[in-house]
Chain A
Amino acid sequence: MPDGDTRNVLEVNDLSTVFQTRGGAVHAVNSVSFHVKPGELLGVVGESGSGKSVTMMSLIGLLPSPPAEVRSGEVLLDGEDLLKVSPERLRDVRGGEIGFIFQDPMTSLNPVFNVGFQIMEPIRRHMGLSKAQARERAVELLELVGIPGARARLTDYPHQFSGGMRQRVMIAIALACDPKVLIADEPTTALDVTIQAQILEIVDDLRAKLGMAIVWITHDLGVVAGIADRVMVMYGGQVVEHAPVHPLFNDPRHPYTRALLKTIPSVSGARAKKLQVIEGQPPILGAAPVACPFRDRCPLVFDRCHQQNPLREDVGAGHDVACFHPLAQTGREAVA
């Protein structure tokens, strides 16, 4: 982690997003706070429906409204609150200062434009380059993400690329304007492990070269262990634990994080006789939380969990956890 620069390039405080649906309100994001520094990679882990993607899309107003509504909070990009700026300014931010890589490379590229056009579009819009200059920049970007024969492939259409190649094009588009923050929403989930390894290597490489802040959403703890500096675990629309990567994996405090780490089998080491499971289902977020979202599945549940929603509490060394149980504060699992 770079120590010199302690300024937060992106700071999110107390963000809440609610969807108004015909079946009632869905509280998808409940007072989420986090920050990222330049050159840092923050991993966001959680199951589907835990609010990871919705959080990130709320940041730059990508959710259709209605039904989505950002109820409260602030999103500070270099001190400027993105929830209060004009739509014009927001358009400058999207793709310009904040790059976004979407989950599914198959559906997030426009099939009727060639990839050259799609890469050049943000460059011309945000950087004001001419067509010829933009083309040069597009070639540079495609080479950066490791697409062979970059110049010739600018005129190809998305269907002429494989899944891994398309994801590289997505990365190239996200990087096009040297964003300060790159948000990657499950960028490797739709890809095979060998292709995922290629993409991870490119991202590691680019981070060293370009020094941008990255927020990496995934449900794969293995991926996070390999690339993240800090990790934030989400459950039921809330941040339940947040820590630098080593403490999170070696000394997880929240019962959900612990259980999650135990459920995944490994390709090396001893093989467990039976897989650990987290019983039950993730919660349905019909109302603003008044109690711990994990209480129904938690092995350590006690009275207080049903009455109050735990707040994130610092347990030292940049590690915080939202849990009432004494084990969460004192560390090292003794009983769990």
Chain B
Amino acid sequence: MTALVKVRDLRMHFPINSGLLRRQTGAVKAVDGVSFDILEGETLGLVGESGCGKSTCGRAVLRLYDITGGTIEIDGRAIEHLSQSDLRQMRTTMQMVFQDPQASLNPRMTVGAIIGEPLLEHTNLSRAEREEQVQVLMDQVGLNRAFVNRYPHEFSGGQRQRIGIARALALNPKFIVCDEPIAALDVSIQAQVVNLLEELQDRLGLTYLFISHDLSMVRHIADRVAVMYLGKVVELAPRDALYDAPLHPYTEALLSAVPEPDPALAGQKKGRIVLQGDVPSPANPPEGCNFCTRCPRVMDVCRRIDPEFREVAPGHWAACHLHDAEYNANAGQTA
């Protein structure tokens, strides 16, 4: 399988302007040097706490922002410098499902108009063909065809998210960025939407970048998982390797903080790692490793040198000095 999406050293800095002349006095480094590949037909999960830059990363990959630096290649085409008009043509291969189904659907458009809009923009279908296509899409995501003339407010949260998914599917894209598609939904509805996304992937061979802060859901849907912290990917590994044997202390802490829905396990959950303090500001990240202010296993070197993102085990990447033989004598055993 080949990589459909290749991202190298992606950087997205938002300028901070202050003072009388609004000069740039700094930058929020929301995404700071992120690299990953997504293979065709796979789901890459992107997890992290709020404010770590995962949504910005997802949007930057689709060039919804003018990125600060790095390269992005989607379906064999470099898009980091494409103009807006060239990007429009690329949009048929790459689409997005947004977090808040309430806010991302125009309340004045009917469902049919929302789902049909990409077709209107990008294809030359006749009105009848378009309406036919909209109905097919509604079937695909499990919406009743009879609702085509209803407005978004007449639907529940889960159904609205289905509308958002149908809209993303309209142009037969290869790659879809799902930005926290289930965060705003109830538990029992979340499972419905996740199952729908999986079914569509099987049927249409889609590739997903699945952004979420819900580690248990990501474990279910993703093939490989990337963990972000303060604008950087700190660990990237196949799902089972990441959840069974995390290499980065942040991943470890994150996993141990997820409450287990089983009182027997919760009681004996040994060594729950409770991180102290808050995430530092991305405008002013600490020197050295970004995680050094909260890391339970911090070493002197972490405060000076930023660890390199290296392949520690086959397919398992991590950015941590603990797995660096030069700084940690036990590196061989832990890796």
Contact = CB atoms under 8 A, between A and B. Distances in A.
A198 interface: yes
A1 interface: no
Interface residues of A, number: 46
Interface of B: 49-50, 156, 158, 186-192, 194-195, 198, 213, 215-217, 219-220, 243, 253-266, 272, 274-276, 278
Given A264-B216, A267-B215, A275-B220, A225 B262 contact: yes
Given A192-B50, A197-B272, A267-B216, A222 B188 contact: no
Residue from B191, B256, B272 having most chain A Cβ neighbours under 10 A = B191
B191 A275 contact: yes
Interface of chain A, main secondary structure: helix
Contact of B188 (A249, A259, A266): A259
A5 to B, nearest CB: 22
A332 B186 CA distance: 27
A263 B187 contact: yes
Interface string A273-310: 01111110110000000000000000000000000000
Contacts of B191: 263, 275-278
Contact of A195 (B194, B243, B278): B278
A57 B17 CA distance: 44
B322 to A, nearest CB: 19
Contact of A162 (B259, B263, B278): B278
A48 interface: yes
Interface in A250-266: 250, 259-261, 263-266
Nearest to A274: B195
Given A194-B257, A226-B259, A201 B274 contact: yes
A263 B262 contact: no
Interface in A191-210: 192-198, 200-201
Contacts of A263: 187-188, 190-191
Given A47-B186, A266-B216, A196 B260 contact: no
Given A193-B258, A225-B263, A267 B274 contact: no
A326 B272 CA distance: 40
Nearest to A161: B278
Contact of A226 (B189, B243, B266, B275): B266
A67 B226 CA distance: 48
Given A265-B217, A266-B216, A267-B215, A196 B188 contact: no
Contacts of A89: none
Nearest to B50: A192
Nearest to A191: B50
Contacts, number: 120
A250 to B, nearest CB: 8
A249 B261 CA distance: 8
A25 interface: no
A330 interface: no
A274 B260 contact: no
Interface of chain B, main secondary structure: helix
Contacts of A268: 243, 260
A143 to B, nearest CB: 15
A265 B220 contact: yes
Contacts of A246: 263-264
A192 B253 CA distance: 12
B260 A47 contact: no
7 contacts: A198-B274, A200-B259, A250-B264, A260-B187, A265-B217, A266-B216, A275-B191
Given A194-B254, A268-B243, A226 B260 contact: yes
In the A-B complex, list the 5 residue pairs whose CB atoms are closest, starting with the nearest.
A222-B259, A197-B257, A192-B49, A226-B266, A278-B188
A193 B188 contact: no
B100 to A, nearest CB: 14
Contact of B262 (A163, A164, A195, A249): A249
Contacts of A336: none
A287 to B, nearest CB: 19
Contacts of A277: 188, 191-192, 195
B194 A275 contact: yes
Given A225-B260, A265-B220, A192 B255 contact: no
Nearest to B275: A194
Contacts of B188: 47, 259-260, 263, 277-278, 282
Contacts of B195: 274-275, 277
B186 A219 contact: yes
B261 A222 contact: yes
Contacts of A278: 188, 191
Contacts of A48: 186
Nearest to A219: B187
B152 to A, nearest CB: 16
Contacts of B260: 222, 225-226, 266-268
